Amino acid sequence: MVGKGVKLLFCVGGLLVAGCAKTEHRNIFDPKYDQGAGVIHGVVTLGSSVQTVSGAIVTLSDGIPNSATTDDLGNFLLSNVPIGKHTIQVLKSGYLVDTAPSAKINFNGESVEAGLIPLFLADGILTGTVRNGDNNPVSDIPITFYRAGPSGSGHMTTTNASGVYRFDSAIVGNLVVKVNVTGTPYYGVLNGTASELQFATSVTSGATTSFNVTLFRVSVENKRGSDASSAPTGWTAQSFKAAHTSLRGVRIGGYLSYSDTTDVEIRADAGGQPNTTVLGTASSGASLGMFSSAITTVVGTTYWLVVKKTLGPGNFSGDYTNNNAYTNGSLMASGDSGGTWTATDTNLDIVFSLLY
């Protein structure tokens, strides 16, 4: 069904056929266009379909007071556009542009074709709350959503004092939500470097979608595990000194594939090796494992992170010596389900960060 203000577009021999309206080809030598400026023209469509959108307002984002409204065929023309590169904005209630297009006027009187500019239905609401590991709201976190698939310029807002973000006009369909943690103490990538966290969600037409995010801070960064390739069960352990009073999760990387099923344990120290008592267990099959409840730790006390590689030792390979220098803690490997531990100094395998 074609909605109000939307018509079908067919291109035949350079014509937009819907009442047989002809696309005008501008003569750049025509004196009426030689005004120290050029023109930008194009067609606004509904998504990637052949439907066109009428009544959309087209402007330039760089403060130039030029505007045009698309006609019944979705055509627009911006005149008296100064020489230079310009970003085109398209506005229509209930719709959003996924990627803001641009066009460049190179010389006086030039006519530039902006092509087809798609608008997407955006009558859904996307909202949520960003909290930290202590369940407290986090303000001033930039949240951006993109249409899944093609990478667009995105639409951004920030969380308020209550940690809440809200988009009253979100593109309907599958979306990618990115949380920018640059300049914050929260983890973005494996070693805690500030970056963006990326999630997937979906927005329904006319409905409100709630998508909440929990951010965690990094306690121990860029550690490394031992080469447990000789161990039948592929167990490895890394000691660390607690820097905080609780631990909530762990990120595992290095040569450990995201698809590998891996159990991660936190154990107390027993005479320089992992104790048999397990304080908490997480499964990091997707690189990030969260403990079922926070593990209470004592600042400055030694603990052990134990990785149990359940798929065997085959993927334990690769040298991280040049990338992640071994700075503190002890490394051990075990071949009998973690009962007997052997010290090792091979700088291989696993990089991990503890989250609190």
Return per-residue pLDDT of the chain as tens, 356 residues.
445 555 544 443 333 444 434 434 444 344 444 445 899 999 999 988 889 999 999 999 877 888 999 999 999 999 999 999 999 999 999 999 887 889 999 999 999 999 999 999 999 999 999 988 778 899 999 999 988 875 566 899 999 999 999 999 999 999 989 898 887 777 644 344 446 778 889 999 999 999 998 887 766 544 444 444 444 446 777 777 787 788 887 766 544 443 444 678 889 999 888 888 889 888 755 456 778 888 898 988 888 888 776 544 333 333 333 333 334 456 776 765 556 787 765 544 455 667 77
With H, G, I as helix, E, B as strand and everything else as coil, classify residue 292.
strand
pLDDT (tens digit per residue) in 116-144:
999 999 999 999 999 887 788 999 999 99
Q: How many residues does the chain have?
A: 356
Structural domains in the chain, CATH included, are: 6-121 (2.60.40.10), 124-215 (2.60.40.10), 218-355 (2.60.120)
Cα 192 to Cα 251: distance, rounded to the nearest angstrom: 10
What DSSP element (H or E) covers 103? Answer: strand 102-105
Give the distance, in angstroms, between the CA of residue 205 and the centroid of all CA atoms in the same chain: 22
The stretches of the chain forming alpha helices (DSSP H) are none
pLDDT number for residue 104: 93
In terms of phi and psi (left: phi > 0; alpha: psi -120 to 50; beta: otherwise), the region of 20 is left
In terms of phi and psi (left: phi > 0; alpha: psi -120 to 50; beta: otherwise), the region of 293 is beta
Amino acid at 209: T
CB 168 within 8 A of CB 125: yes
Question: What predicted TM-score, i.e. pTM, was given to this entire model?
Answer: 0.60
pLDDT number for residue 259: 41
